[in-house]
Structure 1
Amino acid sequence: MSLKNKHIVLKTEDLSIGYASKKNTRVIGSNINIELLKGELVGLVGANGIGKSTLLRSLTKVQPKLSGKISINNKILEAYSNLELAKVLSLVLTEPLSSKNLTVFELVALGRQPYTNWIGNFSKTDIEIVNRALSQVNIEALKNKKCFELSDGQLQKVMIARALAQDTDLIILDEPTTHLDMYHKAYILKLLQKLAKETNKTILFSSHEIDLAIQLCDKMIVMGNNTVVSDEPCHLISKGTFDTLFPKDLIAFDEKTGSFRVKK
């Protein structure tokens, strides 16, 4: 399907991100132009400290942008009220949960808050959506467990289910594979790939798992020094984008395997 016929969920135009104070402005990234389409899995990668979290905070209205334009579903980000934004964008952070005494079902049900009335009464539809989210992430067996009883991998799946229950067009995850072993890193990213295809939601995640992202993502956003490039992984490989991601003294990118290797 051509780009013209596909719905653009998230778009930035000449976006600059960073930190502004009365005394000075620190630019982290500029001239950022990205388009994320409906149903795409998109990985945001780059070296430590390059500004991935700053970009995600700017895209989600947590932090003000310096300049440029951010649109979700053709509507300028600043035009959304907090409640309206919660119905089009769900955010999964790596910060520790303050509500680990909740059951899995109760935590996932928090995703329905933008739709419930002021006393938080759940309709039959709300409960059906929560149960569907549990099923989509394959954690129905955990629904009555307390969150403090879960492993890191199980808890990450619960957080993804909560985002699904929020029923937004766009899901953004900041480092969803942090603290997980290699198997569970691959499991979570493979799950995100499956969910993007099955639900037709746009899923954007930041990660250090560049090799996995290259294999699984429809599109990647690569942050480098003074550059932000967005394209399909195969095109990024052919352009040599990954060759410039890290200093060449220790690791190199192998175009044939699509992975990084340590230099001998």
Structure 2
Amino acid sequence: MNSKQPHIILKTNDLSIGYVSKKKQTCIASNINIELKRGELVGLIGANGIGKSTLLRTLTQVQNPLDGAIEINGKKVSDYAPIELAKVMSLVLTEQITSKNLSVLELVALGRQPYTNWIGNLSKLDTEAINNALDHTNITELIHKKCFELSDGQLQKVMIARALAQDTDLIILDEPTTHLDMYHKAYILKLLKKLAKDTNKTVLFSSHEIDLAIQLCDNIIVMTENQVVSDVPYNLIKQGVFETLFPKDLIAFDEKTGSFRVKN
């Protein structure tokens, strides 16, 4: 008997990304064909300036693709109305929040905006979603604190809780470990791994923490100057993909340990 195929949450078909300005088109990457399956933790990695943020902005409709298509749950992203898209995809960005005077509870509750009425009243279902998000991220004891009182690590957990409260199939995070020390980098990525498993949501994040991504991710999307590839970490290691990320004169990838080292 064939095992049931995992549900594909996000899929791209021959996607090309880049910019259009003054009638000039600049392509950053093309022929991008990736599939994100339900319940997976997926890392997006690559060297600085390679186009990771551009890819995320394109996937999230912040900017238009140059060519190709993006689908979420089998429907083109461009066919979603904004309120519909907010019910299937949530974002955690690197930009600082503008209203740090909000309490933790108030900020997490903003994740329910796609579902509330025009007054913003919370239903019993909304409250349950908020409480579940607080529990999953272990921040229930912080609910009355103002966001300006939080450490960077605590604030990142609150932002993840807001995305969880939004209750979408797909959560996309742009460099969620920026400004965190090594312990909190590992903590946040392990939290994302647990959330993907426990909630069966698909979590896609961009990161420079390649070693951690190799250890924790179900799949990794690797952007290089020549291609965008997606596979399980073991296969990418065997294919030598990580060895192409950085100039070989300074940094080498150790296939046995699955980590990078500086050459002497």
* Same fold? TM cut 0.5: yes
In structure 1, the partner of 2:256 is 256
Per the TM alignment, residue 22 of structure 1 is displaced from its structure 2 partner at its CA by: 3.6
Distance 1:230 1:3 in 2: 22
Task: Give the partner amino acid of 2:9.
Answer: V
In structure 2, the partner of 1:133 is 133
SS in 2 for 1:106: helix
In structure 2, the partner of 1:142 is 142
Distance 1:3 1:236 in 2: 24
SS in 1 for 2:29: strand
CA contact (8 A) 1:16 1:68 kept: yes
In structure 2, the partner of 1:29 is 29
Matches within 5 A, 1:1-264: 5-264=5-264
Distance 1:171 1:62 in 2: 15
Distance 1:23 1:122 in 2: 47
Structure 1 residues 109 and 2, CA, compared in 2 at 3 Å: closer, same or farther?
Answer: farther
Structure 1 residues 257 and 29, CA, compared in 2 at 3 Å: closer, same or farther?
Answer: same
Distance 2:25 2:90 in 1: 29
Aligned length: 264
Task: Give the partner amino acid of 1:58.
Answer: T
Task: Give the partner amino acid of 1:167.
Answer: D
Identity of aligned residues (%): 75
Structure 1 residues 3 and 37, CA, compared in 2 at 3 Å: closer, same or farther?
Answer: farther
SS in 2 for 1:19: strand
Distance 1:173 1:51 in 2: 15
CA RMSD of aligned residues (A): 1.1
Per the TM alignment, residue 83 of structure 1 is displaced from its structure 2 partner at its CA by: 0.2
Distance 2:230 2:2 in 1: 17
Distance 2:3 2:100 in 1: 42
Q: Deviations over 1:72-125 (max 9, x none)?
A: 000001000000000000000010110110000000000000000011010111
Distance 1:20 1:103 in 2: 40
Q: Deviations over 1:200-228 (max 9, x none)?
A: 00000000000000000000000000210
TM-score by length of 2: 0.98
Distance 1:22 1:179 in 2: 36
Per the TM alignment, residue 23 of structure 1 is displaced from its structure 2 partner at its CA by: 2.6
Distance 2:245 2:2 in 1: 30
Task: Give the partner amino acid of 1:201.
Answer: K
